[in-house]
């Protein structure tokens, strides 16, 4: 396995790097698109504004190169905005397009003043944005028949760390692996299509279950 | 859903704690405590450099680098953040978010600059509130040493408009006292803010934990002294959170 982490000038590279090392791999930071082909597994971190991240991607020559890497069938994991970028576009930055590897748009979540979470009243009755915190991910029914390899060893009660205002809305139900509920929002928390995966949450900041998921990814193939 | 955040006020690499921001004492090595809280299942950590703002620059990048090699939950770093470059340094050292107090009060447009560059999710505005009258609090800077004349409630609304992602609200009058949080303060800010509010200061019992959540509407709690001195442990805090109206 040769694990590369995209270093295009945005994102929490260091924490992803450390987390991959912690699970026993020796990752390489990839800042040159021509280096992509040397890797079997690529992780794309991403935080911040969708448009800003896409522009950096274009500037560094990653947009086309990553598309080709993914089409070549190798393993790819997008985290947070890195996951949102797999889709066609985002309400956050309507002037730019995503990678379009998965069908659907990224939309702003709904805040509300009267909300119930997991059957319990939210104190203050509010669902705030950004959504920051630890939440469970609920596998979709097709995943229960054919488990997603990234969730091996992860239980239903295990929580992951989220920080975001927007969420992808996949058009193809088979690409949606798990959802997370936040108020009336149905967050696409884990998506997958062939060897490409995306997590809205941050596995590198999600304690031991996040590390488990990263380990599962790096061990694919 | 309510996050429990370990708050570590540091001087260099040492964990310190005072009472109401005065009479500071050294407790131990900050990294040892960070490790211990991570192992116990803490949701996040906050490092506040207690002396950085005196020198006008953040100085904890090595501590951050060492921390994020072993700690895989979000880490916020604060103290002495005055420029976009300060933020870049802390983020590249491994911080997920930065906490800013003095720098934002001196130059409120710093909040939008950082939010535009790095995203709102990494901007935590730290507000140190000191009560001046019933239902009135003034924002302090320089670790609670200097007053600003700014009204806390107004400032909280302002920072939200400028693009802050979270507010870390410290009740100076309660800090380090174990006498419970400042419920009216937290209620006023967290109940109306549209962004998450982290309540800090005064937590000494599991009842204080539930009160801040159920009556104060806090979205998260930052706990320092009660964790450092093992007055509270994570298991009992989690149980208290679970029993609140909002649930875990």
Report ipTM (2 d.p.). 0.91
Domain locations along chain B: 3-242
Of A22, A121, A133, the CB nearest to B245: A121
Mean pLDDT check: name the lowest of A28-32, B52-56, B117-121: B52-56
CB atoms within 10 A of CB A188: 25
**A130: cis peptide before it, omega within 30°?**
yes
Mean pLDDT check: name the lowest of A10-24, A161-175, B180-194, B206-220: A10-24
Alpha-helical segments (H) within B79-127: 84-92, 102-106, 109-118
User: Cβ of A132 and B165 within 8 Å?
Assistant: yes
Enumerate the residues of chain A whose CB falls inside 8 A of the CB of residue B214: 123
* CA angle, B15 then B212 then B6, to 5°: 20
Instruction: Say if residue A125's pLDDT is above 80.
Output: no
Contacts 24+ apart (CB under 8 A), A19-24: A19/A203, A19/A204, A19/A210, A19/A211, A19/A214, A19/B72, A20/A204, A20/A214, A20/A218, A22/A211, A22/B72, A23/A211, A23/A212, A23/A214, A23/A215, A23/A218, A24/A215, A24/A218
Give buried/exposed letters for A90-122 (b at 16+ CB in 10 A, else e).
bebbeebebbebbebbbeebebbeebebeeeeb
pLDDT tens digits, one per residue of B154-192: 999 999 999 999 999 999 999 989 999 999 999 999 988
A12 at B interface, C-beta within 8 A? yes
Mean pLDDT check: name the lowest of A137-141, A214-218, B33-37: A137-141
Q: CATH code for B3-242?
A: 3.20.20.70
Enumerate the residues of chain B whose CB falls inside 8 A of the CB of residue A163: 74, 96, 121, 165
What is the average pLDDT value for chain B, to the nearest integer?
A: 93
Is residue A205 within 8 A of residue A161, CB to CB? The reply is yes
Of A14, A132, A204, the CB nearest to B166: A132
Phi, psi for residue B244 in degrees, rounded to 5: -75, 170
Q: Which residue has the higher pLDDT, A127 or A197?
A: A197
Q: Collapsing DSSP states into helix, strand and coil, what is residue A135?
A: strand
What is the average pLDDT value for chain A, to the nearest integer?
A: 92
Which pTM does this prediction carry? Answer: 0.93
In this predicted structure, what is the pLDDT of residue A64?
A: 96
Of A18, A48, A122, the CB nearest to B69: A18
Q: How many CB pairs under 8 A join A and B?
A: 106
- pLDDT-derived band of residue A46, with 50, 70 and 90 as boundaries? confident
CA distance B30 to chain A (A): 19
- pLDDT-derived band of residue A117, with 50, 70 and 90 as boundaries? very low
Mean pLDDT check: name the lowest of A143-157, B52-66, B150-164: B52-66
In this predicted structure, what is the pLDDT of residue A172?
A: 97
Instruction: Say if residue A123's pLDDT is above 50.
Output: no
Q: Residue A3 and residue A5: Cα distance in Å, rounded?
A: 7
Q: Got the DSSP string for A155-219?
A: -TT-EEEEEESEEEEESSGGGEEEEEEETTEEEEEEEEETTEEEESS-GGGSHHHHHHHHHHHHT
Q: Residue B102 and residue B196: Cα distance in Å, rounded?
A: 20
List the structure tokens of A44: 């794309």
Of A18, A133, A208, the CB nearest to B3: A133
Beta strands in chain B (DSSP E): 3-11, 14-19, 22-29, 44-49, 75-78, 97-100, 123-133, 136-141, 146-151, 166-171, 197-200, 220-223
Q: DSSP secondary-structure letter at A32?
A: S
Average pLDDT over residues B201-217: 96
Q: DSSP secondary-structure letter at A151?
A: G
In this predicted structure, what is the pLDDT of residue B144?
A: 79
In this predicted structure, what is the pLDDT of residue A11?
A: 67
Instruction: Say if residue A90's pLDDT is above 90.
Output: yes
Average pLDDT over residues B192-200: 94
Q: Which residues of A are catalytic?
A: 80, 202, 204
Domain locations along chain A: 3-218
Tokens 């204080």 belong to residue? B208
Enumerate the residues of chain B whose CB falls inside 8 A of the CB of residue A206: 72-73
User: Cβ of A130 and B165 within 8 Å?
Assistant: yes
CA distance B37 to chain A (A): 12
pLDDT tens digits, one per residue of B102-134: 999 999 999 999 998 888 899 999 999 999 999
Q: Collapsing DSSP states into helix, strand and coil, what is residue A79?
A: strand
User: Cβ of A132 and B92 within 8 Å?
Assistant: no
- pLDDT-derived band of residue A122, with 50, 70 and 90 as boundaries? very low
Which fold would CATH assign to domain A3-218?
Answer: Rossmann fold (3.40.50)
CA distance B145 to chain A (A): 31
Average pLDDT over residues A187-207: 97
């Amino acid at each position: 396995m040769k694990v590369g982490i995209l270093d295009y000038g945005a994102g929490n590279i260091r924490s992803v790097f450390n987390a991959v090392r912690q699970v026993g791999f020796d990752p390489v930071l990839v800042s040159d698109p021509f280096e992509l082909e040397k890797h079997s597994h690529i992780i794309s971190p991403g935080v911040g504004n969708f448009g800003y991240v896409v522009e950096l991607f274009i500037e560094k020559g990653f947009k086309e190169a990553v598309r080709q890497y993914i089409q070549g069938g190798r393993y790819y994991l997008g985290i947070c905005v890195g996951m949102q970028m797999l889709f066609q576009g985002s309400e956050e930055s309507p002037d730019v397009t995503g990678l379009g590897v998965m069908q659907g748009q990224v939309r702003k979540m709904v805040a509300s003043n009267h909300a119930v979470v997991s059957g319990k009243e939210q104190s203050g009755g509010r669902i705030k944005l950004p959504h920051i915190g630890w939440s469970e991910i609920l596998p979709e029914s097709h995943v229960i028949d054919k488990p997603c390899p990234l969730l091996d060893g992860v239980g239903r009660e295990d929580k992951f760390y989220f920080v975001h205002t927007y969420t992808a809305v996949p058009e193809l139900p088979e690409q949606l692996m798990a959802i997370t509920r936040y108020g009336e929002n149905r967050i696409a928390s884990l998506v997958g299509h062939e060897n490409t995966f995306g997590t809205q949450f941050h596995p590198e900041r999600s304690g031991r279950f996040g590390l488990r998921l990263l380990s599962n990814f790096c061990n694919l193939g | 859903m309510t996050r429990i955040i370990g708050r570590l006020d540091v001087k260099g690499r040492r964990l310190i704690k005072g009472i109401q921001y005065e009479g500071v004492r050294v407790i131990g090595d900050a990294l040892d405590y960070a490790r211990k809280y991570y192992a116990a299942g803490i949701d996040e950590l906050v490092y506040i450099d207690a002396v950085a703002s005196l020198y006008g620059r953040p100085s904890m990048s090595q501590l951050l680098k060492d921390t994020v090699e072993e700690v895989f939950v979000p880490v916020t770093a604060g103290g002495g953040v005055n420029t976009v470059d300060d933020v870049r340094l802390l983020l590249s050292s491994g911080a997920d978010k930065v906490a800013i107090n003095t720098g934002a009060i001196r130059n409120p447009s710093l909040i939008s600059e950082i939010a535009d560059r790095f995203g709102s999710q990494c901007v935590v505005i730290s507000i140190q509130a000191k009560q001046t009258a019933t239902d009135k609090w003034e924002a302090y800077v320089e670790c609670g040493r200097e007053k600003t004349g700014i009204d806390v409630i107004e400032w909280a609304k302002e920072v939200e408009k400028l693009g802050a992602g979270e507010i870390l609200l410290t009740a100076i009058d309660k800090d380090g006292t174990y006498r419970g949080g400042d419920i009216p303060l937290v209620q006023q800010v967290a109940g109306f803010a549209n962004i998450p509010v982290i309540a800090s200061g005064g937590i000494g019992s599991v009842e204080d934990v539930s009160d801040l959540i159920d009556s104060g509407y806090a979205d998260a709690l930052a706990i320092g002294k009660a964790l450092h001195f093992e007055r509270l442990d994570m298991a009992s805090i989690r149980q208290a959170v679970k029993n609140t109206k909002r649930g875990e």
